[in-house]
């Protein structure tokens, strides 16, 4: 665990040390940060996965900077199932979404350039940008019952050397989707400021309920230069297989130049292994059954959690539209850092403070909704009885 404010780092190191010591002492830790789908008792179709990975075609090396045709065709079919038509030539395979980000930073930016990133959100952007020599400018997502982008603020944050804006849709940990009216404004904003739009859509298959106002992907947006990111890590809950993808869209010279250059960059690395590329069509077919289990787990943990936070409680549960996380608002009497240390030391409870995801205000805890239900319930009971 790490984060960007200095006190956080100190607390995090302290937390990590305590966790390690408790593990050495064989203490029974209750982990509410568990987001690794392979260790939460999900039933994977093991035989089918292993058989897909042992395709003899993988014994032949056929490098292709965009990725093997059949693997990209499987991605076209993945979108087709969602009634979205994409051009197979616009897909580039990567080893992960994290790698996709660094490839896009290389593509779109020179050292010293900047990009706009949402907060609260996935806490890796600052670090991924730093290793590419580019700077992140945080734009805060506001909350007043729903999460939304403040477009006036966005404009004031945009600098001459700002090249792109990232959205995480649906966002992690707020579980909020971009809305159609926000996408229209974002497109105008990108046009006015000549920015590329990067949309991280790894949680797009985990909507908790339907809503016509939301944007589930920007894959078909072509008025500006866009990049939709997704991958097996969440789409099939197979992060260990290391396969993600970038879907580029746009028009005119800007698009063709970016497309050619992205092909040049991916050709330098050729980072996706042949076995996983050959397995992709089968893996994406298996994904639905795995997603169903995860979504069922997230929905039932969320609804149980909701039932435990009574109207008279000092805590409240923020509503979510999608994803694997929930945010609990707690009284600001004790700083988050102190509270999570106390929970760890006294209750063996591991929990993310809001600041881990750059939630700007004190008084929020983030819990993973894919935690095994028995652990989730014991842990939440301990948490609620400590907070009161």
Ligand X SMILES: Cc1ncc(COP(=O)(O)O)c(C=O)c1O
CB atoms within 10 A of CB 151: 14
Residues from 105 through 134 that contact ligand X (CB under 6 A): 122
CB-neighbour burial class of residue 44 (10 A; exposed 0-12, middle 13-18, buried 19+): middle
- According to the binding rule CB under 6 A, does residue 369 interact with ligand X? no
Minimum distance from residue 234 beta carbon to ligand X (Å): 7
Residues 6+ apart with CB under 8 A from 230: 97, 201, 202, 204, 244, 245, 247
Pick the closer one to ligand X by CB: 103 or 339: 103
Minimum distance from residue 387 beta carbon to ligand X (Å): 26
Q: Which of 244, 250, 354, 363 touches ligand X (CB under 6 A)? A: 244
Pick the closer one to ligand X by CB: 170 or 384: 170
Interface with ligand X (CB under 6 A), residue total 13
Minimum distance from residue 231 beta carbon to ligand X (Å): 4
Minimum distance from residue 151 beta carbon to ligand X (Å): 22
Tell me the β-bridge partners of 367. Answer: 326
- According to the binding rule CB under 6 A, does residue 97 interact with ligand X? yes
Q: Of 343, 385, 348, 345, nearest to 365 (Cα)?
A: 343
Residues 6+ apart with CB under 8 A from 183: 215, 218, 221
- According to the binding rule CB under 6 A, does residue 67 interact with ligand X? no
Q: Using CB under 6 A, which of the segments 90-98, 157-165, 176-184, 287-295 binds ligand X?
A: 90-98
Pick the closer one to ligand X by CB: 123 or 363: 123
- According to the binding rule CB under 6 A, does residue 233 interact with ligand X? yes
Q: Using CB under 6 A, which of the segments 22-30, 77-85, 91-99, 285-293 binds ligand X?
A: 91-99
- What is the Cα–Cα distance from 383 to 344, expressed in whole angstroms? 10
Minimum distance from residue 41 beta carbon to ligand X (Å): 19
Kindly provide the residue ranges of all beta strands, DSSP E only, lying in the chain, ordered along the sequence: 30-31, 91-94, 114-119, 135-143, 147-149, 162-168, 196-200, 226-231, 244-249, 316-317, 325-329, 349-350, 352-353, 364-368
Residue 55, Ramachandran bin (φ over 0: left; ψ between -120 and 50: alpha; else beta): beta
Minimum distance from residue 186 beta carbon to ligand X (Å): 17
- According to the binding rule CB under 6 A, does residue 231 interact with ligand X? yes
- What is the Cα–Cα distance from 341 to 365, expressed in whole angstroms? 13
Q: Using CB under 6 A, which of the segments 92-100, 110-118, 205-213, 331-339 binds ligand X?
A: 92-100
Q: Which of 202, 215, 236, 369 touches ligand X (CB under 6 A)? A: 202
Pick the closer one to ligand X by CB: 371 or 384: 371
Minimum distance from residue 122 beta carbon to ligand X (Å): 4
- According to the binding rule CB under 6 A, does residue 239 interact with ligand X? yes
Counting other chains too, the contacts that 61-66 makes at CB distance below 8 Å and 24 or more residues apart are 61/274, 62/274, 63/270, 65/92, 65/263, 65/264, 65/266, 65/267, 65/270, 66/91, 66/92, 66/93, 66/263, 66/266
Q: Using CB under 6 A, which of the segments 146-154, 188-196, 231-239, 310-318 binds ligand X?
A: 231-239
Residues that bind ligand X (CB under 6 A): 35, 96-98, 122, 168, 172, 200, 202, 231, 233, 239, 244
């Amino acid at each position: 665990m790490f984060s960007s404010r200095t006190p956080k780092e100190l607390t995090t190191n302290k937390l990590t040390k305590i966790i390690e010591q408790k593990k050495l002492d064989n203490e029974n830790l209750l982990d509410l940060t568990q987001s690794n789908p392979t260790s939460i008792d999900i039933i994977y179709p093991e035989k089918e996965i292993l058989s897909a990975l042992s395709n003899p075609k993988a014994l032949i090396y056929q490098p292709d900077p965009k990725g093997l045709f059949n693997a990209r065709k499987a991605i076209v079919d993945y979108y087709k199932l969602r009634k979205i038509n994409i051009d197979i030539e616009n897909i580039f395979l990567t080893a992960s979404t994290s790698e996709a980000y660094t490839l896009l930073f290389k593509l779109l930016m020179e050292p010293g350039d900047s990009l706009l990133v949402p907060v609260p959100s996935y806490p890796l952007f600052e670090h991924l940008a730093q290793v590419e020599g580019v700077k992140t400018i945080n734009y805060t997502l506001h909350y007043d019952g729903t999460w939304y982008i403040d477009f006036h603020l966005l404009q004031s944050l945009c600098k001459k050397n700002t090249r792109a804006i990232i959205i995480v849709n649906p966002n992690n940990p707020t579980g909020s989707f971009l809305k159609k009216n926000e996408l229209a404004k974002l497109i105008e904003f990108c046009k006015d400021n000549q920015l590329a739009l990067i949309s991280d859509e790894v949680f797009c298959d985990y909507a908790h309920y339907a809503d016509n106002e939301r944007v589930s992907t920007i894959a078909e947006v072509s008025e500006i230069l866009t990049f939709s990111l997704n991958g097996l890590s969440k789409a099939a809950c197979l992060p260990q297989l290391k396969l993600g993808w970038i879907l580029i869209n746009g028009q005119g010279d800007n698009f063709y130049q970016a497309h050619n250059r992205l092909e040049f960059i991916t050709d330098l690395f050729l980072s996706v292994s042949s076995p996983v590329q050959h397995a992709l069509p089968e893996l994406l077919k298996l994904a639905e059954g795995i997603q169903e289990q995860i979504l069922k787990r997230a929905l039932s943990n969320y609804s149980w959690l909701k039932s435990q936070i009574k109207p008279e409680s000092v805590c409240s549960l923020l509503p979510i539209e999608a994803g694997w996380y929930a945010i609990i608002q707690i009284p600001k009497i004790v700083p988050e850092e102190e509270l999570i240390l106390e929970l760890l030391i006294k209750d063996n409870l591991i929990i993310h403070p809001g600041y881990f995801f750059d939630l700007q205000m004190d008084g929020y805890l983030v819990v993973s909704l894919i935690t095994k239900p028995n652990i989730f319930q014991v842990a939440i009971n301990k948490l609620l009885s400590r907070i009161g």
